[in-house]
Amino acid sequence: MPSFLDTIDPAMLARIQAMRLMDDDFMTVVFDGDNEITEFLLRILLSRDDLRVKKVTTQKEKRNLFGRSVKLDILAEDTNGKVYNVEVQREDKGASPKRVRYNQAMLDSHSLKKKKDFSQLPEMYIIFITENDYYGLGQPFYKVRKTIELATTDSTYLPFDDGCNIIYVNGKYRGNDALGKLMHDFCTPNADEMNYNELAEKVRYHKQETEGVRTMCRIIEEYGKERAAEARKIALAEGLKRGLKNGIKRGVQENAIANVKNLLSLNKLSEKEIADCCSLPLEQVLALKEELKRETASVTK
């Protein structure tokens, strides 16, 4: 009798194998409900060894009755009541300061109960892990410092402490330290190449074990349906039926290209096998392979 893994569509299995922690739909499954692995992540991101996570959820939706709701990748709380929102962003446009502002606003609006004083808002950390170096300065991370400028003096500022700490983490950073090793692990689809066993074990479970792979298949199918439904809703609202078809086609193409690059980095399948799995022409896969070589070379310089 064939196992469950033998019954999966090869294209679906290939897509799962190509996923990385830098892909939010995979990362959220790995961290969901796991206090220990989330605590491990936050301790490295914040260079702390005293942090204790009390609870964690992923893909947590914060609803707004009067405007846009937001779905958070990781939302955690420690034993001291501090709140942590961790987001992964593959595209720069998703990591804009105004996106951070909106996340803070939504979190704040759900953190304070009626008639409670504003001083009771919890201390908050909003951490964006960006696949690219968002600010382009080669730093491992960028901490936002809010200040008050004094008009009567030169270069003198007072701290403006609103209890919200904002950090951008450079996903391209590969320093020989805990953060550099963590960013390497976030950007590889291969658990055997990871530095941290804590992460590698979770990745293997969701890529190799029956129940883990079953969960990933369900998540991918649900995510695909949500994306398609959202695309239809936008297109219908704008009266752009032609735009719907083009938008879905473009989204499928972009996903296929990302999956090809991830599979190429694994170096386990031939270019022809990758082309078949991702439904792209062999010529395009070969071109993407050369592009990936150039990107790798620019990072290692």
Pairing between β-strand 70-78 and β-strand 83-89 as defined by DSSP bridges: antiparallel
Task: Report which listed range, 46-60, 140-154, 240-254, is most confident.
Answer: 46-60
Comparing CA positions, the residue from 38, 69, 74 lying closest to residue 59 is 74
pLDDT tens, position by position, 253-270: 777 788 878 877 777 778
Provide the 10 A C-beta neighbour count for residue 234: 13
| Percent residues over pLDDT 90 in the chain | 49
User: What was the pLDDT predicted at 281?
Assistant: 85
pLDDT band of residue 99 (cuts 50, 70, 90) is very high
Distance (Å, whole) CA 113 – CA 56:
20
3-state secondary structure of 147: strand
Gap between the Cα atoms of 275 and 269, Å rounded: 10
**Averaged pLDDT for residues 2-25:** 81
More reliable by pLDDT, 44 or 300: 44
When pLDDT is cut at 50, 70 and 90, the band that residue 71 belongs to is confident
Looking at per-residue confidence, does 265 or 206 come out higher?
206
For residue 232, pLDDT beyond 90 = no
Burial class (CB in 10 A: 0-12, 13-18, 19+), 290: exposed
pLDDT for 3 beyond 70: no
Confidence of residue 84 (pLDDT cuts 50, 70, 90): very high
Of 71, 46, 141, nearest to 38 by C-alpha is 46
Q: What is the pLDDT of residue 273?
A: 81
pLDDT mean across residues, the chain: 85
Give residue 271's identity as a one-letter amino acid code: E
pLDDT (mean) for 278-288: 83
Position 243 scores a pLDDT of 55
pLDDT the model gives residue 87: 95
Of 61-70, 120-129, 176-185, 265-274, which gets the smallest average pLDDT?
61-70
Per-residue confidence band for 298, with pLDDT thresholds at 50, 70 and 90: low
d(CA 152, CA 87): 39
The candidate with the shortest Cα–Cα distance to 41, out of 23, 53, 57, 25, is: 53
Per-residue pLDDT of 30-67, as tens digits, reads 999 999 999 999 999 999 999 999 999 998 878 776 67
> Using CA atoms, how far apart are residues 298 and 101, in angstroms rounded to an integer?
32
pLDDT of residue 216: 86
- Per the listing, tokens 């959220």 go with 28
Q: Residue 127 in contact with residue 86, Cβ under 8 Å? A: yes
pLDDT confidence bin for 293, thresholds 50/70/90: confident
In terms of C-beta distances under 8 Å and separation of at least 24 residues, what long-range contacts does 260-264 make, across chains too? Answer: 260/284, 260/285, 260/288, 261/288, 261/292, 262/18, 262/19, 262/20, 262/189, 263/14, 263/17, 263/18, 263/189, 264/288, 264/289, 264/292
The DSSP annotation for 38-97 comes to HHHHHHHHHT-SS--EEEEEEEEEE--TTS--EEEEEEEEETTS-EEEEEEESSGGGG-H
10-18 vs 210-238: helix crossing angle, rounded to 10 = 90
Of 54-68, 79-93, 234-248, the poorest mean pLDDT is in 234-248
The answer to whether the predicted template modeling score (pTM) of the entire model surpasses 0.85 is no
CA proximity to 266, closest of 175, 173, 190: 190
pLDDT reading at 16 higher than 80 = yes
Sign, CA torsion 233/234/235/239: positive
Sign of CA dihedral 81, 36, 24, 231: negative
| 162-to-48, 106, 125, 148 alpha-carbon distances in Å | 21, 15, 11, 12
Residue-level pLDDT at 98: 94
If one compares 135 and 4, the residue with the highest pLDDT of the two is 135
Helix H or strand E segment including 168: strand 164-170
pLDDT score for 157: 82
